[in-house]
Amino acid sequence: MQTSQGRGVWGSRMGFVLAAAGSAIGLGNIWRFPYATGQNGGAAFVLLYILFVILIGAPVMIAELAIGRNTQLNPVGAFRKLAPGSLWTVVGMLGVATGVGILSYYSVIAGWTVGYFVKTISGEFSTIIAKDISQQIFENFVGNPYSAVGYLFVFIIFTAYVVVGGVSRGIERWTKILMPILFILLILLTIRSVTLNNAAEGLVFYLKPDFTKITAGTVGNALGQALFSLSLGMGAMITYGSYISKRDNLTISAGYVCLFDTLIAIIAGLMIFPALSFVGLKPEESGPGLVFVLLPSIFAEMPGGFIFGAGFFLLLSVAALTSTISLMEVTVSYMVDEWKWKRVNAVIVMSILAFLLGIPSALSTGASGWFTDLPLLHMGFLDLANALLGNYSLTIGAFLISIFVAYKWGLKSVFKEIELNQNIFYFNKFWAFMVRFICPVAIFIIFVYIVITGEYF
């Protein structure tokens, strides 16, 4: 379907909800959430994360969708239209730049999932039990420059293929088929995991809060995780919102997306933590390799583990793809709207850029000593990109977006946009209060606190 300006529009409300949930649900839920929970103390972190989804994530999501649908433009064009001749367009530019950056390193991890799918179906994990062997396989795999860069390339090609198809033909059609499959597979794996021996120990860590574990870093990471997971703070939801029909109720759509996304993260935790205690690994020692090291040793122990393993890595690749699609769409829509480029040319240029930018990340897990242990910082390039773009930049973006809707564009304009066609703005007073006071103030305090304590890294 096309609007009068020749831009795409989602075929139906369900189409939008699935596509936006597809953007939100990804490696953030299944790869990043479990290890962030492990590193940040378990259940107390989970509670903070849920709190931030409700108090900050949901209100910012409504704000982004309203900006997008009102202007029917990419993030830069949207800010320019609503605040002409002002510096607010810089917020849109920050979003577009963050999108390219996240796409570059996110595709590296996404490439690992494809590599692990291939490894599983080629039978490499059918006999492994010991976790140290699994660790070795992981290190060899991510430390090999050819496979790391090769799979990055493959993943960017997949993404480009779908994004070229455009909004309803490409993105919507694919996510409609893929998202439900993902959900079913995850539930099956979780049932398997919670019935493993020793599952209780992992579940206690995950579900019984110990508030003494909360530090500035925990709070900052929980906020960063909530924003990353919901694809907020960089205009992805402005872009997806720009394709929503004027008939749809934005608050209901935003509610569904937040609910599905949080549910998937919580379920992913239920799948990971019992498996951790089953294998005898400490959650605190988990890191970006967690799902890749842990799960193959679980699959090898399970009857039908081959199927579960292949299914899982396929699932994770699919979840990552529906997210990289949205990351690429932000910049592509920018080039198409602002520079009047053909969609296909924008996709080609973006893909090359994301690939080149992704190479340092791909080489930072062992292949190149320099990128793996950056001078002075003593961290890998990928970890640095994940912290700077996936935490800091989104946090700054969400802060500015809430200030923009509350104090520049104005609450009345948002109300008008949401209440179009007699739609009801559910929880409107709660939303207005959050976006005026809680979002900016809370984000500001958390941000300053983590910068001062340096606890993000």
- For binding to ligand PFF (CB under 6 A), which residues are involved? 23-24, 26-29, 99, 102, 228-229, 231, 234, 236, 323, 326-327
Kindly state the smallest distance separating residue 103's Cβ from ligand PFF, in Å. 8
Q: Which is nearer to ligand PFF, 228 or 371 (CB)?
A: 228
Query: 295 or 320: whose CB is closer to ligand PFF?
Result: 320
Q: Which is nearer to ligand PFF, 203 or 327 (CB)?
A: 327
**CB-side neighbour CA atoms (13 Å) of 345:** 7
Residue 97 to residue 327: CA distance in whole angstroms? 10
User: Residue 175 CB, nearest distance to ligand PFF (Å)?
Assistant: 13
Classify burial at 161, counting beta carbons within 10 Å of its beta carbon; exposed 0-12, middle 13-18, buried 19 or more: middle
Nearer Cβ to ligand PFF (29/333): 29
Which residue lies nearer to ligand PFF by CB, 29 or 168?
29
* Shortest Å, Cβ 449 to ligand PFF: 23
Q: How far is the CB of 312 from ligand PFF (least distance, A)?
A: 16
Smaller CB separation from ligand PFF, 128 or 263: 263
CB of 452 to ligand PFF, least distance (A): 26
Residue 412 · residue 128 · CB < 8 Å: no
Least distance in Å: CB of 141 to ligand PFF?
21
Q: How near is the Cβ of 271 to ligand PFF at its closest, in Å?
A: 16
Smallest CA-to-CA distance from 228 within 358, 102, 366 is with 102
Residue nearest to ligand PFF (CB): 28
Pull the structure tokens for residue 52.
Answer: 């931030």
CB of 232 to ligand PFF, least distance (A): 7
Q: Which is nearer to ligand PFF, 30 or 298 (CB)?
A: 30
CB 278 within 8 A of CB 196: yes
In the complex with ligand PFF, the residue whose CB is nearer, 28 or 366, is: 28
Contact between 288 and 36 (Cβ < 8 Å)? no
The span from the CA of 317 to the CA of 322, in Å, is 9
Q: Which of 91, 43, 424 has its CA nearest to residue 232? A: 91
Dihedral sign, CA of 51, 285, 452, 63? negative
Least gap, CB of 322 to ligand PFF (angstroms):
9
Least gap, CB of 140 to ligand PFF (angstroms): 26
**Amino acid residing at 424:** I
* Host H or E run for residue 381: helix 381-387
Of 233 and 380, the one with the shorter C-beta distance to ligand PFF is 233
Q: Which positions ≥6 away from 6 have C-beta within 8 Å?
A: none
d(CA 376, CA 378) in angstroms, rounded, equals 6
- Residue 394 or 414: the one with the smaller Cβ distance to ligand PFF is 394
Q: Which of 277, 260, 270 has its CA nearest to residue 207?
A: 270
Count of residues in the chain? 457
| Residue that the structure tokens 């960017």 belong to | 156
Collapsing DSSP to helix, strand or coil, 8 comes out as strand
Closest contact distance (angstroms) between CB of 290 and ligand PFF is 15
Q: Which residues, at least 6 apart from 225, have a Cβ–Cβ distance to it below 8 Å?
A: 28, 32, 33, 36, 49, 52
- Got the DSSP string for 412-424? HHHHHHHTGGG--
CB of 23 or CB of 253, closer to ligand PFF: 23
Report the residue number, 236 or 359, with the smaller CB distance to ligand PFF: 236
Are 232 and 57 in contact by the 8 Å Cβ rule? The answer is yes
* CA-based end-to-end distance of the chain: 45
* Min separation Cβ 229 and ligand PFF, Å: 4
Q: Which of 51, 437, 54, 384 is nearest to 219 (CA)?
A: 51
